[in-house]
Amino acid sequence: MVMAREGLIRLTGNENGTCGKDDCPNVYRTASGSFVVQGDMSDAFKAPDGEGLVEIPEETLREAVRALGW
């Protein structure tokens, strides 16, 4: 299932943060409450078919947690 980026809530990479462009690590929240993570591809291990691995900096996850108020 392909989801339009416009349908996601961007939790990281805002204009005041360290990255304001679309090509940096980001965390998004879907309408159903799950998360979509954008980052560099990782080859740490082979993911099962239909899945992928991305690597994002700890700072990006911390920013997402702050955005959610956790």
* pLDDT in the model for residue 4: 76
* pLDDT in the model for residue 47: 95
pLDDT digits (tens, 9 = 90+) for 25-65: 889 999 999 999 999 999 999 999 999 999 999 999 999 99
Task: Look at the chain and report how many structural domains it folds into.
Answer: 1
Q: How far apart, in whole angstroms, are the C-alpha atoms of residue 35 and residue 49?
A: 19
* pTM of the shown model: 0.76
CA distances from 21 to 1, 32, 33, 51, 62 (A): 25, 25, 24, 25, 18
Where in the sequence is the domain holding 34, given as residue range(s)? 5-68
